[in-house]
Amino acid sequence: MTAGDVLLLIGAGVLAGITSTVAGLASLVSYPALLAAGLSPLAANVTNTSALLFVAVGAGLGSRPELVGQGARIGRYGAAMFAGGAAGAALLLALPASAFERVVPVLIAGSAVVLWLQPWILARRAPDAAEGGRVILALVVLTGVYLGYFGAGGGIALLAALAVAIPEPLARVNALKNVVSGFANVVAAVVFALFGPVRWLAVLPLAAGLLVGGAIGPLIVRRLPAGLLRALIGLAALGLAASLGWNAYR
């Protein structure tokens, strides 16, 4: 690692941390930065996932007002993400990198549509409907699998699932998403530390930047109108889905 690589990863980490907490797109910044620093695709993937747990730490610090009263949700959805993240990490080490390529664009595009429809869905939700229903928990587990496997856009899928389950302001749901997604990264990081080619000298500067960016992001979310935030995240998701779809189907 050269001094230039360290500075690149710190800067990319800050930007990725902000992007993650606002729109769930951290890997679009941090993963290419690791490739630019000379890591192989597999090493960049596992290194990126190992560092991304620091976004959750930073976001937790920056989102304390939004997280008040959400301890039970963090426990419930965090456990689901933990299970999914473990499965995703195992799949990454066992399956070819192309395994999810054709499914992911559809998943992310669908998540954008669900997020845009959140107000309409919540308006028609039964007043006594359970937040942690089996369907939602299953979706959270599957999102954890994807986050442990690769994760680009996984935060958007998680936000969409939580947003239609929890009838609260989007900023509070987004804060919950930022924290519970870290559970998938924690277990994946442990698996990769034991069995994967993690480059720890690259993790350190990237993690430092992600910690700072993760703390800054909630300050931005707190000031954005919910409608604008929902629109921006949805547009970013469609752009990501189009890019991934082009690479997968061409």
Distance CA 152, CA 137 (A): 20
C-alpha torsion sign, points 8, 9, 14, 16: positive
Question: How many CB atoms lie under 10 A from the CB of residue 188?
Answer: 30
Low-confidence ranges of the chain (pLDDT < 50): none
pLDDT confidence of residue 124? 67
Give pLDDT, residue 101. 64
pLDDT of residue 172: 93
Question: What is residue 232's predicted lDDT score, i.e. its pLDDT?
Answer: 83
Cα 104 from Cα 184, distance rounded (Å): 17
Check: CB of residue 188 under 8 Å from CB of residue 148. yes
Tell me, what's the pLDDT at 218? Answer: 92
Residue type, 142: L
Q: Give residue 129's pLDDT.
A: 57
Cα–Cα–Cα angle for 189, 142, 203, nearest 5°? 20
What pLDDT shows up at residue 78?
93
Give dist(CA 44, CA 31) in Å, integer: 6
Q: Are 84 and 142 in contact (CB under 8 A)?
A: yes
* pLDDT confidence of residue 246: 81
Dihedral angle computed from the Cα positions of residues 136, 185, 108 and 223, in that order, rounded to the nearest 10 degrees: 90
